[in-house]
Structure 1
Amino acid sequence: MTVQIKYCGSQSEEDYRLLVKTNADYIGFIFAESKRKVNPSDVKKWIEKYGKPKQLVGVFQNASLKEILDVISEVPIDIIQCHGDESIEMIGKLKNQLNVKVYKALPYRQQIFGDIERYGCASDAIIVDSVSKGQFGGTGVPFSWKDVPRIMEKAEEQGVPCFIAGGITPDNVSLLLPYHPHGIDLSGGIEENGKKSTKRIEQLERMLNNDNSNCT
């Protein structure tokens, strides 16, 4: 099975120009408070200049319907990623009123399997991310990947794909791939000096290509 790739946190024209040429399936922009937060008008200009060859993901955290509407009125978002405490009802409202796919990010914690069961029925995909020192997402720290097979199994029971995020890099992705995640989600792991790195991305994609070529 080919692992889907999501590169998140594109924060400049330079980042976007690089990412559209990669093997990524998705490019993510962060519209929540973050060091990688972007302005919708800037993103619109980048897309107009370099095209839209990938599916675009907008990352929000506990945003109102109006806040999300304001963004997608400028940016042709394919997928909304809810990365906060959004309710199942809110996810349903977004899907019904905006006619876009909605992915739900969930923190890796003791009740993760129950969380997947609850949110899987409402979301189009699940993203399981790390929690470190109370911070959810953007930690640069992987969680215990030994639970990934069970996480994938629980997501499959709900009929949704599941991406693994948090601390994935070209240097450690080979340790994750044997657990067969449906997708991987990277941001800081493909950066050097705060910018997306051609070298890091090429290194990662070589690892993924080698893994896929070994599949029977």
Structure 2
Amino acid sequence: MKICGLMDQVTVDETVQAGADYLGFVFAKSKRNITPEKVRAITRNVPEKVKIVGVFVSPSLKELEAVIRIAKLDLVQIHGELFPEIVSRISIPVIQSFDGQSPELPSLLASSTADFYLLDAPITNETYAGGNGKTFDWQKISSESQKQLKKKPFFIAGGLTQANVTEAIQFFEPFAVDVSSSVETDGVKDVTKIKAFIKAVKEQ
């Protein structure tokens, strides 16, 4: 499971202790934006088995290379445009985000060169890509999309909560689930909610 949008040392430590597998840090425009220097500072004690993920929107290769080096990222998660040369030229795995309701999803998945897929809610009037606490209509996933999803490990995101994550896991059988806004209180990560979410996932 991946807890995204982390911003401070205490929450990182508590999230690791609770059993998260991936820690997400947002380098795109966001209320959860963080600098690569700070990510490096607050993740120095993270065990090697827990992976550090940088979240970007349509980044350049130069931007990615700099942040990967400074923050010591294990993976990058890319929303928006993923330029073809990026996957082949960076040294770590790529998670590519897709609109889970897009009618073009089967062809988009088929043409992706990323190492992982991530299905998220569509961006409509939101200011930021991702982390908006909205779900997408799971029933709109076509049989062709389901076939493509079986070809690579994939994450499910978009409005997951302690209450619906069990249903999401049973429906998709994903590689991992990804959460941000539902484990916050007043826009700040809430360790109690993080622990409850992780517990719900681990019980599957």
TM class by shorter chain equals 0.7 to 0.9
Q: In structure 1, what is the equivalent of residue 86 of structure 2? A: 94
Q: Mark the runs of 5 or more structure 1 residues left unpaired by the alignment.
A: 212-216
Secondary structure class of the residue paired with 1:80: strand
The superposition leaves residues 77-135 of structure 1 with CA deviations (integer Å, 9 ceiling, x where unpaired) of: 11111111123x1xxx333332111110111222112211111xx11000011024244
Q: 1:171 to 1:62 in 2, by over 3 A?
A: same
Q: 1:61 to 1:132 in 2, by over 3 A?
A: closer
The superposition leaves residues 145-169 of structure 1 with CA deviations (integer Å, 9 ceiling, x where unpaired) of: 224584443221xx21111111001
Q: In structure 2, what is the equivalent of residue 175 of structure 1? A: 167
Using the alignment, how far apart are the partners of 2:69 and 2:60 within structure 1?
A: 14
Q: In structure 2, what is the equivalent of residue 185 of structure 1? A: 178
Q: In structure 2, what is the equivalent of residue 155 of structure 1? A: 149
Residue pairs, 1:51-90, within 5 angstroms: 51-53=46-48, 54-87=50-83, 89=84
Q: In structure 1, what is the equivalent of residue 4 of structure 2? A: 8
Q: In structure 1, what is the equivalent of residue 21 of structure 2? A: 25
**1:72 Cα deviation (Å)?**
1.6
Q: 1:148 to 1:164 in 2, by over 3 A?
A: farther
**1:174 Cα deviation (Å)?**
2.5
Q: 1:123 to 1:139 in 2, by over 3 A?
A: same
Q: Quote the sequence identity (%).
A: 27
The superposition leaves residues 164-200 of structure 1 with CA deviations (integer Å, 9 ceiling, x where unpaired) of: 1110011221321221222211011211232222221
Maintained 8 Å contact 1:107/1:128: yes
The superposition leaves residues 3-22 of structure 1 with CA deviations (integer Å, 9 ceiling, x where unpaired) of: xx111111222322222212
**1:41 Cα deviation (Å)?**
1.0
Secondary structure class of the residue paired with 1:128: strand
- Count of matched residue positions in the alignment of Structure 1 and Structure 2: 198
Scaled by the length of structure 2, the TM-score of the pair is 0.88
Q: 1:163 to 1:42 in 2, by over 3 A?
A: same
Q: In structure 2, what is the equivalent of residue 129 of structure 1? A: 120
Secondary structure class of the residue paired with 1:20: helix
AA aligned to 1:20 is V
Residue pairs, 1:108-127, within 5 angstroms: 108=100, 109-119=102-112, 122-127=113-118
Using the alignment, how far apart are the partners of 2:117 and 2:175 within structure 1?
A: 10
Counterpart pick for 1:40 among 24, 36, 39: 36
Q: Mark the runs of 5 or more structure 2 residues left unpaired by the alignment.
A: none
- Note the aligned Cα RMSD (angstroms): 1.9
Maintained 8 Å contact 1:44/1:74: yes
Scaled by the length of structure 1, the TM-score of the pair is 0.83
Using the alignment, how far apart are the partners of 1:133 and 1:96 within structure 2?
A: 31
AA aligned to 2:70 is E
Q: In structure 2, what is the equivalent of residue 205 of structure 1? A: 198
Maintained 8 Å contact 1:94/1:100: no
Secondary structure class of the residue paired with 1:85: coil
Maintained 8 Å contact 2:20/2:198: no
AA aligned to 1:164 is I
